[in-house]
Amino acid sequence: MNLYTTSGTPEFMEKVREKHSGEDMVLLHGAGNSLLLHETEGKTVFQTPKRYEVIGASGPLAKHGYYIVNNIPVTDEGRPIFEHRFQNRANMVDGQPGFLTFRLLRPIKDDTYRVVTAWESKDHYELWKGSQAFKSAHDRKEQTPPAEKTQHIFSAASYITEYETEKPEDEKI
């Protein structure tokens, strides 16, 4: 399975989604731009997409909800280690209150992996962040074998982007 993204103004992204209504797409709105996700076994309809291979998944792409995208730049040498770590915690969000979607995305042409989760609301995401399951999933000391502790697998600092499937009230026409 592949997942493709493209970004632009909310109006343009909506037109692209409407033009390809038969495709599995989700339109997300964030600070300053909108992001369109296209999940497919085949080729994308986007002209200039970012391309990812889905290497971990839980749940369908949620059509409504609060999305978190954790952007994690990883060195070429660090890819196997990074993917192994995520395989060990792949299902830790399953069953959490308000959890809808998980995707672990391996980049095709760049170094930034994307960890995508969708929640019923921002409040549900905040509850997850305060949970013991979250602490366990993010406790690197417990999960990192001694041989990996000296390896630098990240090429830059990670960052989180937040999106909603509904436009903020001040952007609605």
pLDDT tens across 81-102, in order? 999 988 766 678 888 999 999 9
Domain range for 100? 2-171
Find all residues with CB under 8 Å of 42, minimum gap 6, and list them.
Answer: none
**Which candidate, 54, 1, 57, 65, places its Cα nearest to that of 28?**
65
The single-letter code of the amino acid at 28 is L
pLDDT for position 132: 86
Q: How far apart are the first and last CA of the chain?
A: 36
39-57: pLDDT as tens digits: 999 999 999 999 999 999 9
Count of domains observed in the chain: 1
pTM metric for this prediction: 0.88
Q: How confident is the model over 105-134, as a mean pLDDT?
A: 95
CATH number of the CATH domain containing 12? 3.30.70.100
Give yes or no for a contact between 105 and 3, defined as CB atoms under 8 angstroms apart: yes
Q: Which bin fits 120, alpha (ψ -120 to 50), beta or left (φ > 0)?
A: alpha
* Each residue's pLDDT tens digit, 145-159: 555 554 789 999 999
What average pLDDT does the chain have? 90
Question: Do the bridges between strand 159-164 and strand 99-107 make them parallel or antiparallel, or are there none, so unpaired?
Answer: unpaired
